[in-house]
C-alpha cells in the first residue's frame, strides 16, 4: 500500500502536513504517504492506529514531538512521520 487518499481532497489550498499545523488547529486526514519500504511500514502502523483518510485530527503539541488527537485517541509521533500525514484544515469553532 503506497498511500491512501480521501475522495474529497481536491481543495489543495487547505491541505497541509500534520507537522505544519498550529497548536489547536483542526482538520481531516486526506492522505497518508508511504514512499519506500520503511515509510510503508510506518504508514501501515498509522493506519492500524486509526490515522487514516477521513479521521478528524487536532494538533495538541509540536515540540519535542508532534502530539495530536485523532478522533478520540491521543498520539505522539516524530516530526518526520507527521510530515507524511496530509490534513485538510477545517474551520475552528467561533
Rounded mean pLDDT of 86-94? 77
pLDDT recorded at residue 69? 97
pLDDT recorded at residue 25? 96
Residue ranges of domains in the chain: 3-89
Give the β-pairing of 73-77 and 66-70.
antiparallel
* CA-based radius of gyration for the chain: 12
pLDDT recorded at residue 42? 81
Query: 35 or 80: which carries more pLDDT confidence?
Result: 80
pLDDT in tens, 6-35: 444 445 568 999 999 999 999 999 999 877
Question: What is the residue-wise DSSP string for the chain?
Answer: --EEE-TT---GGGEEEGGGSPTT-EEEEEEEE--SHHHHHHHHHHHHTT--TT-EEEEEE-SSSEEEEETTEEEEE-HHHHTTEEEEE-PPP-
CATH superfamily, region 3-89:
Ferrous iron transport protein A (FeoA) (2.30.30.90)
Confidence of residue 1 (pLDDT cuts 50, 70, 90): very low
Give the β-pairing of 3-5 and 85-89.
unpaired
Amino acid at each position: 500500500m503506497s498511500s491512501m487518499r480521501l475522495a474529497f481532497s481536491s481543495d489543495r489550498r487547505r491541505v497541509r502536513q500534520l507537522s505544519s499545523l498550529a497548536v489547536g488547529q483542526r482538520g481531516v486526514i486526506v492522505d497518508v504517504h508511504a514512499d519506500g519500504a520503511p515509510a510503508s511500514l510506518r504508514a501501515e502502523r498509522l493506519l492500524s492506529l486509526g490515522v487514516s483518510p477521513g479521521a478528524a485530527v487536532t494538533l495538541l503539541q509540536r515540540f519535542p514531538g508532534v502530539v495530536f488527537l485523532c478522533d478520540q485517541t491521543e498520539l505522539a509521533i516524530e516530526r518526520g512521520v507527521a510530515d507524511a500525514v496530509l490534513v485538510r484544515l477545517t474551520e475552528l469553532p467561533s
